[in-house]
Structure 1
Amino acid sequence: MASPVLARTPSSLAIGVQFVLTGIVWGSSFLFIAVALTGMNPAQVAWSRLVFGAVSLGAIVLLRRERLPRSPRVWAHLSVVAMTFCVVPYLLFSWAQQHVSSSLASIFNATTPIMTAILAWAVFRVERLTAGQLAGIVLGIAGVVLIIAPGAAVDLGESLIAQLALLGATASYGFSLTYMRRFLAGTGLSGLALATGYIGVGAAIMLALSPLIFLEPVRWDPWVLGSVVLLGVLGTGLAYAWNQNTLAAWGPTRASTVTYITPVVGVLLGILVLGETLSWNEPAGAVVVLLGILLVQQRIRFRHRRAGDDEAADAGAPAASR
């Protein structure tokens, strides 16, 4: 019987399982990073994540006989995405988690849809936002301020800089998702092939930098090794394949609800496994951010007084970013 990862037409049950597994794996990534940092520096964690991810995705592509890009133009765009969707945010997340908890990192990761909406509207001009979506962006920003402000009032040190770095990482994700929509949507290639392309380029960049990255020795113990292997093979490998299967079966709107699973898993693992604690403002801010995401993705909407206004809004509503 074919593996659900490799099956060309997964059943509805298999899709549901893959969706849940994707949320669990991506939510666990922050725990894996925290453990890996006990024996590696941030660049080494990012290196391992990309190299192991590229190897696992390459194996899936070979088994599925997926067609990889051939156009130099497509590879040029994939190189941009490799930097902005992989190398830069992976480095920022790894560096930031030296100074903030894995729970807080998972909460900040949930701001990615807000960042995507802002960049799709303000920079790339690929979406027009409704009043409700603009309100969602404002609400999401308010949630971020609620998370950051109490700590910033008493500490202007590395913790605040780390939180800003996490926002930089999610802004980089938002840029990449919009860039892919603008320049790679019409290639005719599968999402899995494109993911293999940009993760492969990202891995090649990190491999080229290996002499610099590994100047500092690595403390290889079973926990560190296991964490980076799981982070790469599962979080940057199999989970991408599962997410592409879900995207193809459910469409971008339903598939993007994985955004709601990952911070819950990340926070629970941080508390239960690492003994982390949350300040009152962090879960409160996460709830405000979540409400903003619901507005941005139009899962909740403002009521219109006239039925004709509702129909016009529905007709002009932009597609979900991912």
Structure 2
Amino acid sequence: MNTNQYTMGRVEWIMLLALSLLWGFSFINIKNSLDQIPPFTLVFLRLCIAFSALLLWCLISNKQLRLSAREQLLLLGGGLLSCAIPFSFFTWGQQHVSTSIGAIFNGSVPFFTAFLAHFFIGGSERMSWRKALGLGMGMLGIITIMGLDKLNNFDLTSLGQLSMICACFFYGCSGIYYQKFVPDHIDKTVVTTYTLIWAAIAMSLVSINIEGIPSFDYRLDVWLSLFILALFSTALAYIILFRLLKRAGPSNTSLNTFIIPVVGIFVGIALLGESLNSQDIFGVVLIFSGVAIIRNFDSLLKKLFRKKATPTKLKL
């Protein structure tokens, strides 16, 4: 699509905020679900419920679900990189890390994307002094939150934080992978559906072998958190994401990088009584500053608020 057709009007801002809220609230639902569901089983159940909902959406919308063996193989790789592996790292890590800190680390994905894009995408995505500065500030922010003392004395909290950093690395890998290898002609909702299906198949092997067959004997509030996580923070969030990408474009959509950690921190403090110390706050400032530099935030804001022509109507 021509970027001249992208717009960031009232509807697009509402969609962006809705997407950020859905993903920002996922941290508290993961935390609550972990109260009774083991981490790998939680990832498996989340994926199963989400792909079932998206598959139903595809059938209702008459999406073309038939793909070649090569395309399925590519989406298998995507399912591992974008869902199975990072979901597992993040969910396991959140057992030992607060919701607020988890949200902060999630905001570091652009650093890994920028670093990997230099080697695997090239062109305009190559590392510049601006991106290198942003990357350095972001890494310094992560180290600040983890604490130099804990880097020398690893405990479960440190391992949880490291696990979340690994998840962000794989999220960065998945963005590069989809850009380079997954064909553009496949409907994005279909891509997501098969991505979740393959990820669920992979996690069924992991969760059953490590944690056994799920008992399903969970409290009502745990079931509620699980379904909210799967249906809203996964299935619905992806539907909104692809609509927003078509209407507003990838640069405008990337603004969720700034909003999601804010939502996650607010939820952790307001609903769980968590707190951030001065070291955490300084780390947050460094990470946000690094992301702003990498995203070229000043020029992005000018682009957002420049008057644009109304785009043609698009359907997902």
What's the TM-score, normalizing by structure 2?
0.86
Q: 1:265 aligns with which of 257, 263, 276?
A: 263
Deviation of the 1:21 alpha carbon: 1.1
Deviation of the 1:299 alpha carbon: 1.8
Residue in structure 1 matched with residue 202 of structure 2 by the alignment: 205
Q: 1:165 aligns with which of 149, 163, 171?
A: 163
Q: 1:89 aligns with which of 82, 86, 89?
A: 86
Contact 1:68 1:194 in 2 (8 A): no
Residue in structure 1 matched with residue 42 of structure 2 by the alignment: 45
Separation in 1 of the partners of 2:13 and 2:72? 32
Deviation of the 1:258 alpha carbon: 0.9
Residue in structure 2 matched with residue 17 of structure 1 by the alignment: 14
Separation in 1 of the partners of 2:216 and 2:149? 32
Matched, 1:182 2:180: yes
Residue in structure 1 matched with residue 232 of structure 2 by the alignment: 234
Separation in 2 of the partners of 1:140 and 1:181? 23
Matched, 1:121 2:118: yes
Separation in 2 of the partners of 1:209 and 1:278? 34
Deviation of the 1:64 alpha carbon: 2.0
Separation in 1 of the partners of 2:133 and 2:15? 32
Deviation of the 1:293 alpha carbon: 1.0
Q: 1:274 aligns with which of 272, 275, 285?
A: 272
1:218-269: CA deviation from partner (whole Å, max 9, x where unpaired): 5411111001111111111000000110000000000110111111111111
1:153-191: CA deviation from partner (whole Å, max 9, x where unpaired): 68521111111111000000000000110111x431222
Contact 1:69 1:193 in 2 (8 A): no
Residue in structure 1 matched with residue 288 of structure 2 by the alignment: 290
Structure 1 segments, 4+ long, off by >6 Å, are none
Residue in structure 1 matched with residue 135 of structure 2 by the alignment: 137
Separation in 2 of the partners of 1:54 and 1:236? 9
1:8-66: CA deviation from partner (whole Å, max 9, x where unpaired): xxx95543322211100100111001000111110111012111110111122222222
1:136-166: CA deviation from partner (whole Å, max 9, x where unpaired): 1111111111111256168521111111111
Partner AA of 1:256 in structure 2 = S
Specify whether residues 222 and 254 from structure 1 end up closer, same or farther in structure 2 by C-alpha distance, changes over 3 A only. Answer: same
Residue in structure 2 matched with residue 318 of structure 1 by the alignment: none
Contact 1:86 1:199 in 2 (8 A): yes
Partner AA of 1:195 in structure 2 = T
CA RMSD in angstroms comes to 2.1
Contact 1:107 1:263 in 2 (8 A): yes
Separation in 2 of the partners of 1:102 and 1:119? 27
* Paired residue secondary structure (2:297): coil
Q: Percent identity?
A: 27
Gaps in structure 1 of 5+ consecutive residues: 1-10, 302-322
What's the TM-score, normalizing by structure 1?
0.84
Separation in 2 of the partners of 1:146 and 1:210? 33
Count of paired positions: 291
Separation in 2 of the partners of 1:142 and 1:157? 20
Residue in structure 1 matched with residue 154 of structure 2 by the alignment: 156
Separation in 1 of the partners of 2:74 and 2:120? 17
Separation in 1 of the partners of 2:227 and 2:264? 18
Separation in 1 of the partners of 2:52 and 2:113? 28
Partner AA of 2:159 in structure 1 = I
